[in-house]
Amino acid sequence: MRLNKINLASLVLGGSVLLAGCGGGGSDGGSVLSLSGTAATGAPIAGQIVTATCKTGTATVTTSTDGSYTANIGGGEGPCLLKITLAGGGALYSITSGNGASQTANITPMTNLLVIYLSNVPGMTAASPEAWFALPAARTLLANTAALNTRITADFIPAVKALVPTLSLSTTDFLYTKFTASPTSSTTDADLELLKNSGVVTSTGAPTAATTLLLQTAAANDTPVVSPTGAGS
């Protein structure tokens, strides 16, 4: 179909207005990647910076008083690595999966443990979450939601429950389902309190040295992740 100059100008102008209304930064494009979730250590992580680094595009936003965040990336494409900087220093990490236009990822001590675990699986080990996310094997796994969820439920969750058997943790809800930061109304949040009370993480949500070592050992015994040549680029 041929476009005349008037119609073409209208399309360009309309696209410019759409992009101008999208917060969070990122590369230009006709589509928008929307990221959202809850940041909490038990209590909400309020007023702190969340940085999203995605397969395509980046964003920086600040959490609300209830720990929620939303970031829109013009022309963005997942999966993404999420990082929240803590007021007392340090950071917690999380991930999204797949390449859908709307993705949810909570950022908590539990999701941080997941990133530590995944970055020690054979075939995609790295010294930092950022270095891990840059690996083709990591991008390939995160792009395959079914494969990632299998690793979470079959490998990661048993490893964490070996530390705290009383956790209600059994599905991927801790990562993908938004929650209210209240241990009396959310099993996800109640689990975060258990992590702290059991000494698996510190009061800031950072893992203890013993916790990190256990996750590294558990990950080292799992099936290697092998990325096909050129995958995840």
What would the pLDDT profile of 114-160 be if each residue is shown by its tens digit?
999 999 999 999 999 999 999 999 999 999 999 999 999 999 999 99
Evaluate whether residue 11 is within a structural domain: no
pLDDT at 160: 96
Residues 167-176: tens digit of each pLDDT = 999 999 999 9
pLDDT at 231: 42
Give CA–CA dist 201/166, Å, rounded: 15
Q: Is the dihedral of CA 135, 136, 141, 145 positive or negative?
A: positive
pLDDT at 190: 96
Q: Is 35 helix (H, G, I), strand (E, B) or coil?
A: strand
Evaluate whether residue 13 is within a structural domain: no
Evaluate whether residue 15 is within a structural domain: no
Query: pLDDT exceeding 70 applies to what percent of the chain?
Result: 84
Helix (H) or strand (E) holding 211: helix 209-220
Evaluate whether residue 232 is within a structural domain: no
Evaluate whether residue 230 is within a structural domain: no
Question: The tokens of 108 are what?
Answer: 């908590």
Q: Is 36 exposed, middle or buried (0-12, 13-18, 19+ CB in 10 A)?
A: middle
* CA trace torsion 58, 61, 67, 69 (10° rounding): -60
pLDDT at 227: 65
pLDDT at 174: 98
Evaluate whether residue 6 is within a structural domain: no
pLDDT at 226: 77
> Is 80 exceeded by the pLDDT of residue 1?
no
Evaluate whether residue 53 is within a structural domain: yes
Give CA–CA dist 104/66, Å, rounded: 16
Evaluate whether residue 7 is within a structural domain: no
Say whether the peptide bond before residue 207 is cis (omega within 30 degrees of 0).
no
> What is the band of 88 on the pLDDT scale with cuts at 50, 70, 90?
confident
> What is the band of 30 on the pLDDT scale with cuts at 50, 70, 90?
low
> Is 50 exceeded by the pLDDT of residue 3?
no
Domain hosting residue 45, numbered range: 22-220
pLDDT at 228: 55
> Is 90 exceeded by the pLDDT of residue 24?
no
* Contact between 24 and 63 (Cβ < 8 Å): no
> Is 50 exceeded by the pLDDT of residue 99?
yes
> Is 70 exceeded by the pLDDT of residue 13?
no
Give CA–CA dist 46/66, Å, rounded: 6
Give CA–CA dist 192/62, Å, rounded: 21
Give CA–CA dist 138/10, Å, rounded: 41
Domain count, the chain: 1
Return left, alpha or beta for 67; rule: phi > 0 is left, psi -120 to 50 is alpha, else beta: left
Q: Is-above-0.95 flag for pTM?
A: no
> What is the band of 22 on the pLDDT scale with cuts at 50, 70, 90?
very low
> Is 70 exceeded by the pLDDT of residue 201?
yes
